[in-house]
């Protein structure tokens, strides 16, 4: 759940910036601050007791060649790395990172590339072919789906390394309005049965510091996977639940209003009407009048494992328990 009002800084600065203080957030936009505060009561994930049928997912991203210094990875059924394993994507860096990934005890280990993992974007490279062959025990996804079977249960995953363009990084597409970018994700043909969506970058307005992809957000509204894991924006690490309700849509319109600098700090242009809608939904939920938190929706996880101006803060992995039942599917984030 993230929007910012200043876009003068480079994306590199956003990737490495510290999270703003509450006062800084309020000063930047009272409208957004109030909306975000209210929306947090709707988007905070619920904690559901795990069961013997739960699938434990260990999620990590943006290790940037710090893998050997990261905290030990927790046990789990599926380990997922959502890109930027390296600083510059050389053979040596990728080999080291993939060796570390392959050495983990998890039964299933899945990864995608990020904009720093240059060699993986060179499909004609013999080094790329050799690397992926050496670590054939890992599941590498590049704009493709796979199905894993864990304790008799099928888990449908889709992975893509694509992010909006910045600099000379790989796997990038041009930054443009959602109406233009929709084809970028429609062409990916993500199966509607996807349980876990893995992308390198975040959707717009959520755990993204305001620089996520609007077309990816539209895709989430369309396919609504149980879990979406990503990274890329280091300072936006966190967990958020998307209920796909009118309140969420109103919150996203507030973010868009502030992002477009409508009026003074978003105070005009209808933003307050949507903000009031979000506040009312929060009151409705607090009074227990809303639907159960185990309803259908998508859990978002920004699992970026480094933080700080020098990427010197190592955060480790995020653990999520995913239940796939015949009738209902519940999510738990820890």
Q: Do 307 and 195 sit in the same domain of this protein?
A: yes
Considering the domain boundaries, does residue 144 fall inside one? yes
Q: Do 271 and 253 sit in the same domain of this protein?
A: yes
Which pLDDT score is estimated for 277?
83
Considering the domain boundaries, does residue 288 fall inside one? no
Query: Has this prediction a pTM greater than 0.75?
Result: yes
Of 37-41, 68-72, 241-245, give the lowest mean pLDDT range. Answer: 37-41
pLDDT in tens, 9-23: 455 555 555 667 878
3-state secondary structure the chain: CCCCCCCCCCHHHHHHCCCCCHHHHHHHCHHHHHHHHHHHHHHCCCCCCCCCCCEEEEEEECCCCCHHHCCCCCCCCEEEECCCCCCCCCHHHHHHHHHHHHCCCCCEEEECCCCCCHHHHCCCCHHHHHHHHHCCCCEECCCEEEEEEECCEEEEEEEECCEECCCCCCCEECCCCHHHHHHHHHCCCCCCCCCEEEECCCECCCCCCCCCEHHHHHHHHHHCCCEEEECCCHHHCEEEEECCCHHHHHHHHHHHHHHCCCCCCCCCCCHHHHHHHHHHHHHHHHCCCCCCCCCCCEEEEECECEECCCCCEECCCEEEEEEECCCCEEEEEC
Q: Do 20 and 37 sit in the same domain of this protein?
A: yes
Which pLDDT score is estimated for 263?
45
Q: What integer is the mean pLDDT of 155-166?
A: 95
Considering the domain boundaries, does residue 207 fall inside one? yes
Considering the domain boundaries, does residue 305 fall inside one? yes
pLDDT in tens, 180-215: 777 788 888 899 999 999 999 999 999 999 899 999
User: What range does the domain containing 269 cover?
Assistant: 1-7+16-44+245-276
Supply the CATH number for residue 188's domain: 3.60.21.10
Q: What integer is the mean pLDDT of 93-105?
A: 99
Q: Do 250 and 125 sit in the same domain of this protein?
A: no
pLDDT in tens, 115-148: 999 999 999 999 999 999 999 999 999 999 999 9
pLDDT in tens, 219-231: 999 999 999 999 9
Q: Do 307 and 213 sit in the same domain of this protein?
A: yes
| Averaged pLDDT score across all residues of the chain | 85
Of 5-19, 120-134, 155-169, 242-256, give the lowest mean pLDDT range. Answer: 5-19
Of all residues in the chain, the percent with pLDDT exceeding 90 is 58
Q: Do 251 and 234 sit in the same domain of this protein?
A: no
The count of structural domains within the chain is 2
């Amino acid at each position: 759940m993230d929007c910012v009002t200043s876009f003068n800084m480079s994306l590199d600065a956003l990737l490495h910036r510290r999270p703003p203080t509450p006062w800084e957030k309020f000063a930047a936009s009272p409208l957004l601050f109030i909306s975000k505060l209210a929306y947090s009561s709707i988007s905070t994930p619920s904690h559901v007791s795990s069961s013997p049928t739960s699938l434990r997912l260990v999620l990590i991203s943006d290790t940037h060649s710090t893998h050997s210094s990261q905290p030990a990875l927790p046990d789990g059924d599926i380990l997922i790395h959502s890109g930027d394993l390296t600083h510059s994507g050389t053979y040596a860096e990728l080999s080291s990172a993939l060796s570390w990934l392959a050495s983990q005890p998890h039964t299933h280990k899945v990864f995608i590339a990020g904009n720093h993992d240059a060699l993986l974007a060179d499909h004609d490279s013999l080094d790329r072919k050799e690397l992926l062959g050496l670590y054939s025990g890992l599941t590498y996804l590049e704009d493709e789906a796979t199905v894993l079977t864990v304790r008799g249960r099928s888990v449908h995953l889709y992975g893509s390394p694509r992010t909006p363009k910045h600099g000379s990084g790989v796997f990038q597409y041009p930054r443009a309005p959602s109406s233009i970018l929709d084809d970028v994700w429609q062409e990916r043909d993500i199966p509607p049965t996807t349980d876990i969506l893995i992308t390198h970058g975040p959707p717009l307005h959520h755990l993204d510091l305001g620089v996520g992809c609007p077309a990816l957000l539209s895709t989430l509204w369309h396919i609504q996977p149980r879990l979406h894991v990503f990274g890329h924006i280091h300072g936006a690490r966190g967990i958020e639940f998307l209920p796909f309700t009118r309140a969420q849509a109103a919150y996203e319109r507030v973010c868009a209003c502030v992002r477009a600098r409508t009026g003074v700090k978003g105070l005009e242009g209808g933003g307050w009407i949507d903000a009031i809608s979000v506040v009312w939904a929060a009151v409705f939920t607090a009074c227990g009048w809303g639907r159960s938190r185990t309803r259908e929706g998508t859990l978002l996880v920004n699992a970026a494992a480094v933080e700080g101006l020098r990427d010197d803060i190592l955060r480790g992995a995020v653990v999520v328990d995913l239940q796939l039942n015949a009738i209902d599917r519940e999510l738990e984030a820890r």
